């Protein structure tokens, strides 16, 4: 497979794209939980598939919400929410007191978290649709409760059928007190999407 390369100008444009999309997603999340959301600086890197898991925090069970975009820019989108954060978000959305004795997410919790993922991802791509002047329609989200490696392996297997590298975006989102929750958001475009994205950004 041919190795992809991006220059500094292209990397900066991609990071700005991630910044716009993640900003829209964090605003949508803020409105859902009625709290101010702080957004980290988005990162855009071209990395080997086998190195993706090195960019993800190890050793903890997380809620993973992921879906595929299959329009003009085929991509996978993934949210990783640490276990404690997942309970905090579910508590806020369901307007209940937190209970540290609860160790298993209920079906209602999972439904609430899935809705968070759906709203955030749709908000992310709404901003890109406007930026690129094209229709981008996310597919239905799926939820998994596992270690990060197990969740992302499925996505990497799909991408690995057509590429050995991936354009990897990451941004972290936290609530205003930095104690309630943390969400990592990842965008992994398939190789054929990268040229389209760079062209739309005017840096092809």
Sign of the CA dihedral 85, 87, 91, 96?
negative
For residue 3, is pLDDT > 70? no
Query: Quick check: is 98 in a domain?
Result: yes
Query: Quick check: is 171 in a domain?
Result: yes
Query: Quick check: is 53 in a domain?
Result: yes
Query: Quick check: is 175 in a domain?
Result: yes
- 161: domain CATH number? 3.40.1550.10
Tokens of 170: 């990451």
Give me the domain span that covers residue 155: 8-200
Query: Quick check: is 38 in a domain?
Result: yes
Helix or strand or coil: residue 18?
A: helix
Q: What CA–CA distance (Å, rounded) separates 45 from 53?
A: 13
Query: Quick check: is 3 in a domain?
Result: no
Query: Quick check: is 2 in a domain?
Result: no
Q: How many domains does the chain have?
A: 1
Query: Quick check: is 113 in a domain?
Result: yes
Q: For the whole prediction, is pTM greater than 0.85?
A: no
Residues 145-191 have pLDDT tens digits of 888 788 878 777 777 776 677 777 777 888 777 665 778 888 888 77
Lowest pLDDT segment from 11-25, 40-54, 82-96, 129-143? 40-54
Q: Where are the alpha helices (DSSP H) in 34-63?
A: none
């Amino acid at each position: 497979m041919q190795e992809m390369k991006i220059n500094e100008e292209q990397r900066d444009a991609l990071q700005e794209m991630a910044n716009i999309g993640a900003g829209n997603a964090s605003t949508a999340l803020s409105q859902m939980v009625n709290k101010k959301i702080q957004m980290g600086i988005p990162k855009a890197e071209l990395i080997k598939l086998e190195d993706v898991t090195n960019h993800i925090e190890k050793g903890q069970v997380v809620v993973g919400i992921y879906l595929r975009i299959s329009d003009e820019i085929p991509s996978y989108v993934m949210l990783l929410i640490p276990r404690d954060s997942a309970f905090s978000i579910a508590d806020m959305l369901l307007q209940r007191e937190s209970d540290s004795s609860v160790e298993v997410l209920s079906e209602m919790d999972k439904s609430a978290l899935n809705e968070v993922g759906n709203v955030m991802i749709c908000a992310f791509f709404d901003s890109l649709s406007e930026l690129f002047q094209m229709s981008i329609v996310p597919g239905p989200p799926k939820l998994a409760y596992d270690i990060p490696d197990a969740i992302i392996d499925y996505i990497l297997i799909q991408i690995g059928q057509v590429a050995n590298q991936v354009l990897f975006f990451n941004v972290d989102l936290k609530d205003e007190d930095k104690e309630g929750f943390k969400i990592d958001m990842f965008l992994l475009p398939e190789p054929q999407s990268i040229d389209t994205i760079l062209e739309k950004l005017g840096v092809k």
